[in-house]
Copies of this chain bind each other. A is one copy, B any other.
Amino acid sequence: MIDTTDLTRNQDLVFKALVDAAVPLSAYTILDRLRDSGLRAPLQVYRALNTLCEKGLVHRLESLNAFVACARPDCHRHETVAFAICDQCNQVSEFSDTEVEARLDAWVRGREFRAERTTIEIRGTCKGCAG
């Protein structure tokens, strides 16, 4: 279980904003929602987001330039996580697949490539929105 008690004030505000939203938010949207709480500049948000990403509490979605609270705060061990992102309702399903990880790992090891970060994002339409 990740420890969320040692977050600083700004980190806590940003994290709670993302948890409340339940969908990905851009840094500037987060800023807008936290102006009443005292945040005034983008950098305050970006700094908090960086720390939260490092802790595994938040994920960055590259294809959206947005951030989402980790769905599994009890399980930040999986380095590689995949996301299914609904372009209609913005909801994100987070999952991991050891076989996918293994195949990608096999490929990079075969080329002696040292992987640091892996992004897997599937954009589309969720069951509910496809009707």
Interface positions of A (Cβ within 8 A of B): 62-63, 82, 84, 86-87, 93, 95, 97, 99-100, 103-104, 107-108, 111-127, 130
Chain B residues near A123 (CB, 8 Å)?
115-119
Contact assessment for A111 and B127 in the assembled complex, using a CB-CB cutoff below 8 Å = yes
The one of B84, B95, B97, B115 that contacts A122, using a Cβ cutoff of 8 Å: B115
- Write the chain B residue with the least CB distance to A127: B112
Known: A63-B119, A119-B63, A123-B116. A111 touches B99 (CB 8 A): no
Contact assessment for B117 and A124 in the assembled complex, using a CB-CB cutoff below 8 Å = yes
17 A–B contacts from the bound complex (CB under 8 Å): A62-B62, A62-B119, A82-B104, A82-B107, A84-B111, A84-B115, A93-B111, A97-B103, A103-B103, A104-B122, A113-B122, A114-B130, A115-B122, A116-B125, A118-B120, A118-B123, A119-B121
